[in-house]
Structure 1
């Protein structure tokens, strides 16, 4: 789904549309994450605690550890040799045909339950640095061994890692800073379109076959920016633009168990610089650079493209 807007009105529109809630709930010190033990029981009963391995695959992000520059979709651990159902997020550009069925995994993360957007002034008043993690944990009243602390460390590590070759990246801690990055990428006077994935009718089954109900609509754009939500006490978007050619589509999907999705999907046309261990290659049974890799953006992501007159 796309929205055509100017820079002047886009800030107001997104403040309403993206995670808008009562202003009293926006106080960032009233963090909604609750302390739980870092075990399976706690993870199952607290949806606010992110599964970092799943998050990386849902958002198609680079997994960057200290001393490592592995590219997107790599696992945080390598002990799983079997096919994880949540790996079913990749498909090929040849699959984009009306009536074709594609197995797709959609996370149950609900954008309406995400932390809240904060202003640039609020964001700038709080350090956003891995070196300041001890201070931040104290600021948000989190123990250093908690799942929340691990999630914050993960996000700060991703944001501070150098970009891969051909990538321009920025972690936006406020809507204003995200728009600044888009302006710097597309040009100060460029109007933009914001694209998202919308679940028109939800399904309880995260993995199911989705049939293409209509001919995919290609969004022709010279550049695109993908902004992915990251686990943090307030909203942080990992925004990046990558060279190598991308084709963007709006796709209408109908699930075999009743799900209906108006999705935004992208096909990365050049994967020659990707990590060979990227699970997309295992799922699609291809090698880096031999074929495009496509995926759907999760519902809490935003894709920015410039409007072409």
Structure 2
């Protein structure tokens, strides 16, 4: 598909660049930053792949270390809530990962990105290309990302790891239709703060964004920017929520609520966080500022 066939605006592309890169200045992401962000991001949208049961009753080997092996709850997974919790005045404990554009990997130009193999079997060559040792934290993060990108989608899901902005837009266009315009929704932090985890109060009635279809995109750890994007055929609801933190932080957050969770693994992290039964409908989660949702723009 050529870029000419993708229906999007210059303003959308500009917003995506701002969401992902800030002002464009900065240095390469450190190993600690890479692993910290990678562990939380991959854990959040990979838990339903950890031990998926196939139709014939067999079980797929775990692809990412499941949260259930941890002795204590990781605060970075505190982004879940239920639809009934989304009421004015309710207080929700939320972890918002802060976006640091100075440490974020940059998108490569489409031609350059396409010239680099993005495949688990090419990992040894990729490590040589980026001068990384096999046992380094960066190498382990790369391997986790490649494994997740090559893992089988759950039933009803279409997934894609975009190595460039253009390929991400083409994937979105394939979901929405080549003649459909779409817009970006992203969480905005209205105040600057170093506090990652605190209680937030819902200030106003959440605004529901019409979303007959949606594509969610998540940043994943890699030497250059990669977006893990996916879409599901099950019904989802998208909201913009005004939040006031107990530390004084103000956030306009994007949240997605999933009506059908029956295909999720019984050990999905959201069930543990919320203390609910597997398959419970109306499981919701907030998006950090460097992730975003694409929806049709009527």
Q: What interval of TM-score do these two structures reach, taking the shorter chain for normalisation?
A: 0.7 to 0.9
> Partners in 2 of 1:246 and 1:12 — Cα distance?
24
- Does structure 2 conserve the Cα–Cα contact (< 8 Å) formed by 1:115 and 1:234? yes
For residue 206 of structure 2, what is the aligned residue in structure 1? 216
2:76 equivalent to 1:91 = no
> Partners in 2 of 1:247 and 1:112 — Cα distance?
32
Instruction: Please give the residue correspondences for 1:56-135 in structure 2 after superposition, counting only pairs within 5 Å.
Output: 56-57=42-43, 59-62=44-47, 64=49, 68=60, 76=66, 78-135=68-125
Q: Which runs of 5+ in 2 are unaligned?
A: 1-5, 52-58
Match of 1:32 among 28, 48, 71: 28
- Does structure 2 conserve the Cα–Cα contact (< 8 Å) formed by 1:251 and 1:265? yes
Q: 1:62 to 1:276 in 2, by over 3 A?
A: closer
1:215 deviation in Å?
0.9
> How many residues end up aligned between the 2 structures?
285
For residue 301 of structure 1, what is the aligned residue in structure 2? 291
- Does structure 1 conserve the Cα–Cα contact (< 8 Å) formed by 2:7 and 2:178? no
- Does structure 2 conserve the Cα–Cα contact (< 8 Å) formed by 1:65 and 1:157? no
Match of 1:19 among 18, 21, 25: 21
Q: Deviations over 1:85-144 (max 9, x none)?
A: 333211111111111111111123424531112221110111111111111111111111
Q: 1:99 to 1:193 in 2, by over 3 A?
A: same
Q: 1:201 to 1:8 in 2, by over 3 A?
A: closer
Q: Deviations over 1:199-243 (max 9, x none)?
A: 111333221110111110001111100000010011100000012
User: TM-score, normalising length from structure 2?
Assistant: 0.86
> Partners in 2 of 1:175 and 1:192 — Cα distance?
14
1:50 deviation in Å?
3.3
1:265 deviation in Å?
0.2
User: TM-score, normalising length from structure 1?
Assistant: 0.84
- Does structure 2 conserve the Cα–Cα contact (< 8 Å) formed by 1:93 and 1:292? yes
Q: 1:202 to 1:11 in 2, by over 3 A?
A: closer
SS of the residue aligned with 1:249? strand
Q: Deviations over 1:243-284 (max 9, x none)?
A: 221100001111001111111001111111111111211222
2:188 equivalent to 1:203 = no
2:133 equivalent to 1:143 = yes
Q: 1:15 to 1:223 in 2, by over 3 A?
A: closer
CA RMSD of aligned residues (A): 2.6
Instruction: Please give the residue correspondences for 1:156-195 in structure 2 after superposition, counting only pairs within 5 Å.
Output: 156-195=146-185
- Does structure 2 conserve the Cα–Cα contact (< 8 Å) formed by 1:33 and 1:49? no
Q: Which runs of 5+ in 1 are unaligned?
A: 26-30, 37-42
Q: 1:248 to 1:149 in 2, by over 3 A?
A: same
For residue 268 of structure 1, what is the aligned residue in structure 2? 258
2:269 equivalent to 1:284 = no
> Partners in 2 of 1:291 and 1:185 — Cα distance?
24
